[in-house]
DNA sequence: GGTATTTTTGGCAGCGCTGCCAATTTTCGG
DNA sequence: CCGAAAATTGGCAGCGCTGCCAAAAATACC
């Protein structure tokens, strides 16, 4: 037996059942235009009786603007993006918008392909991570006429709307904090930077700041693949095997930093007296560790919320800097 | 200045530019039906030149089935759901399906409302968490004629397809493991169970198993709100303040368990000799802690993958049990 | 009571694309 | 070189709904 019921009740059938015209049903359902209370009741009764579910595909095609918002994000493993989606989806749902998404795995050419596929749904807006995109992506988005929101990175030219903060500033402040604390022999443990350009920006600004204070980075360990707690642990282990006199390590993010933290716990390396640890993101888990993680808290959920609000409100092009917060913690 | 370019190039325009009929363009673009190589080139050239982007809204309306898959998930904070989305989205993208989602916050009536909204997009399938739904939701899904996939819980009757494992079995095995290890004075720390029915099922089976072995649960601490590391830490602290002679604690999931683990580290409570800790989910982070977390690893990504494959392949109704794996770890 | 308004309502032409079918062109076999 | 079969191609009717416009009904005003 096949599964094709598609009890497809149409607006026309509702109209007939209610004894009114199609447009009247449409008006009642969208609560738009004028109609009498009596008509309203008859229509609603028919809708109820027939179990009518409006067809948004048809509705969107017939009207001008769609209520779809497309997210093209690098990853779902990195909690950053679910957090952004979470912030955005609450606002979008309130405004009867619908979120659509696809995942690029940090691959710019995949981003281009997926953005193209998204555009085919004629979304009201496309939301992307960061401001680095292929030429093709930029051209396509420009030509599309739909709103474009670039998230989580303000270090570059925005196509239309940008919401987030400066990763370069985050890298700088992290370095400044460690220097202020008196650390001078600093190392870095990070994940694949070519793919995660935002982590790359933090790292390069971090290094520049160290250089400017005559305390250049002493050692680094870059692990292939995505950031993870295990990679952070492994990275610190490797770094310490090669370099014995470090007094602080900057990690590409909190996942990695937690790995480093666990490595120190396991190896009984005193934190921060023997080795300081500094992360990035300000995950909740970093606040519950025996020693709160020193890190920078980023406004991930708020980024999603604001982005969604700007789209819903059809705001003019702008860059919104939500800033970030340095959490002193107890590991640095 | 307003932003309404909508350079809406239509198929008809491409057809005219290429000097062919509309249906020919449609065939070439979908690589469906027959056409000559020469025609193909002319069409592609025109597409390129005009920057044509097909309109999937129109395409979906005109053809019968849509290539949308709708996810109605409880949360994006709980990494479980991003993991499922991740597994599914890879498979869906390969097959040119598009994922749409909305978040219920574990509220069944919100689930009903969101499922209704999703149905309006006439998706090929709706994916939901668990098998507990309101009567209205069930009725609506049944009537919709679209595929329904229930994820991550096999303890109940499936509407159509179900992919996951038994939460009751997970609770049972967790209890059996602790008992086998010799723990007899067992407590529980969990988050709001009314909302997260799967955690509730694990807990009740856990308790039944303890009862069956004459080692009933000694104490429990249920925290309002979502699961989090901080809530786990707080929960264990409270539990221990009231009950001093516990030898093991079962947590509603790994986030909570990690909080408990951190509490023990901070309070210098020896694990597992003084207190054993057992979680649920098998998050990666639990493998990188100084002592690997004892837990049950659930096939979250695989659940998403399989679910997507079944939908793409239009498989018949079935329940797929992916099982789970007990990780002995070192905390119990 | 009659006319001017205002409120409700229905009809119908698309939105851009796909599916069906018939027309046209190409290829093949003898 | 001709008819038949196969490969291409174009035309056009919808898919289900919204937006526009004019008709009809209700209400207001003098």
For β-strands B125-129 and B98-103, DSSP reports them as unpaired
Q: Which residues contact A7 (CB under 8 A, 6 or more apart)?
A: A51, B143, B144, B145
Return the pLDDT at A7: 61
Chain C nucleotides close to protein (CB under 7 A) are 7-21
> Phi-psi bin for B222: left (phi > 0), alpha (psi -120 to 50), beta?
beta
Task: Express each pLDDT in A130-182 by its tens digit.
Answer: 999 999 999 999 999 899 999 999 999 999 999 999 999 999 999 999 999 99
For residues A4 and A177, the model is more confident at: A177
Instruction: Give the number of A-B residue pairs with CB atoms closer than 8 Å.
Output: 169
User: Taking 90 as the threshold, does the pLDDT of residue A4 lie above it?
Assistant: no
Q: If pLDDT is split at 50, 70 and 90, which confidence band does A2 have?
A: very low
Average pLDDT, chain A: 95
The nearest CA of chain B is from the CA of A275 a distance in Å of 17
A279: chain B residues, CB-CB within 8 Å: none
Distances in Å between the Cα of B176 and the Cα atoms of B165, B213, B255, B293 are 18, 9, 22, 17
- B93 contact partners, CB below 8 Å, separation of at least 6: A102, A103, A114
Residues in chain B with CB shorter than 8 Å from the CB of A93 are 102-103, 114
Do A259 and B288 count as a contact with CB atoms less than 8 A apart?
yes
CA distance A260 to chain B (A): 10
Query: Cα torsion at A331, A202, A154, A131 (round to 10°)?
Result: -130
Q: Are A261 and A331 in contact (CB under 8 A)?
A: yes
Compute the distance between CA of residue A12 and CA of residue A83 in angstroms, rounded to an integer.
42
Alpha-carbon gap: A161 to the closest alpha carbon of chain B (Å): 12
Which chain B residue is nearest to residue A255, measuring alpha carbons? B285
The answer to whether the Cβ–Cβ distance between B61 and A56 falls below 8 Å is no
The fraction of chain A above a pLDDT of 90, given in percent, is 94
Q: Could you tell me the distance in Å between the CA of residue B21 and the C1' of nucleotide C22?
A: 15
Q: pLDDT digit of tens for each residue in chain B (332 aa)?
A: 333 445 689 999 999 999 999 999 999 999 999 999 999 999 999 999 999 999 999 999 999 888 999 999 999 999 999 999 999 999 999 999 999 999 999 999 999 999 999 999 999 999 999 999 999 999 999 999 899 999 999 999 999 999 999 999 999 999 999 999 999 999 999 998 888 999 999 999 999 999 999 999 999 999 999 999 999 999 999 999 999 899 999 999 999 999 999 999 999 999 999 999 999 999 999 999 999 999 999 999 999 999 999 999 999 999 999 999 999 999 99
Inter-chain residue contact A119 with B228, CB threshold 8 Å: no
Nearest to B147 by CA among B291, B32, B318: B318
Subunit contact B288:A230, Cβ cutoff 8 A:
yes
Residues 193-232, chain B: which have Cβ within 8 Å of A?
A: 228-230, 232
Query: pLDDT value at position A1?
Result: 31
Residue of B53, B105, B271 to mutate, interface with A, max A Cβ within 10 Å = B53
CA-nearest of B126, B175, B168 to B150 is B126
Whether A66 contacts chain B with CB within 8 A: yes
What per-residue confidence (pLDDT) applies to B1? 31
pLDDT in tens, A255-285: 999 999 999 999 999 999 999 999 999 999 9
The B residues from 25 to 64 touching A (CB cutoff 8 Å) are 51, 53-58, 60-61
Question: What pLDDT score does B166 carry?
Answer: 98
**Which residue is nearest nucleotide C26, judged by alpha carbon to C1' distance?**
B36
**pLDDT, tens digit, 9 for 90 and up, residues A199-227:** 999 999 999 999 999 999 999 999 999 99
Q: Could you tell me the pLDDT band of residue A5, with boundaries at 50, 70 and 90?
A: very low
User: Please, what are the domains in chain B?
Assistant: 11-54 (1.10.260.40), 68-165+300-323 (3.40.50.2300), 167-297 (3.40.50.2300)
Chain B: residue whose CA lies nearest to A87 = B76
Q: Answer whether B121 sits within 8 Å of A56, measured CB to CB.
A: yes
Tell me the C-alpha to C-alpha distance, in Å, between residue B108 and each of A46, A68, B138. Answer: 26, 24, 11
């Amino acid at each position: 037996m096949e599964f094709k019921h598609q009890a497809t009740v149409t607006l026309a059938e509702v109209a007939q059942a209610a004894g009114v015209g199609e447009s009247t049903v449409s008006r009642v359902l969208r609560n738009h235009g004028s109609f009498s209370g009596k008509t309203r009741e008859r229509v609603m009764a028919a809708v109820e009786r027939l179990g009518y579910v409006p067809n948004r595909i048809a509705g969107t095609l017939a009207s001008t603007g769609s209520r779809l918002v497309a997210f093209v994000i690098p990853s779902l493993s990195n909690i950053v993006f679910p957090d952004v989606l979470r912030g955005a989806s609450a606002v979008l749902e309130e405004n009867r918008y619908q979120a659509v998404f696809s995942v690029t795995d940090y691959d710019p050419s995949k981003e281009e392909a997926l953005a193209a596929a998204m555009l085919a749904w004629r979304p009201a807006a496309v939301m992307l991570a960061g401001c680095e995109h292929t030429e093709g992506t930029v051209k396509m988005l420009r030509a599309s006429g739909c709103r474009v929101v670039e998230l989580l990175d303000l270090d570059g030219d925005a196509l239309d709307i940008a919401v987030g903060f400066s990763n370069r500033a985050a890298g700088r402040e992290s370095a400044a904090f460690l220097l202020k604390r008196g650390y001078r022999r600093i190392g870095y443990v990070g994940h694949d930077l070519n793919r995660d350009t935002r982590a790359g920006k933090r790292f390069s600004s971090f290094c520049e700041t160290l250089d400017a204070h005559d305390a250049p980075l002493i050692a680094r360990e870059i692990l292939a693949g995505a950031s993870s707690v295990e990679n952070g642990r492994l990275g610190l282990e490797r770094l310490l095997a090669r370099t014995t006199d470090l007094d602080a390590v900057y990690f590409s993010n909190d996942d990695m930093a937690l790995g480093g933290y666990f490595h120190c716990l396991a190896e009984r390396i005193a934190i921060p007296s023997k080795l300081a640890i500094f992360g990035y993101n300000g995950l909740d888990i970093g606040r519950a560790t025996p020693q709160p993680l020193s890190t920078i808290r980023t406004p991930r959920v708020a980024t999603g919320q604001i982005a969604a609000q700007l789209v819903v409100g059809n705001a003019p092009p702008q860059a919104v800097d939500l800033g970030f917060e340095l959490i002193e913690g107890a590991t640095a």
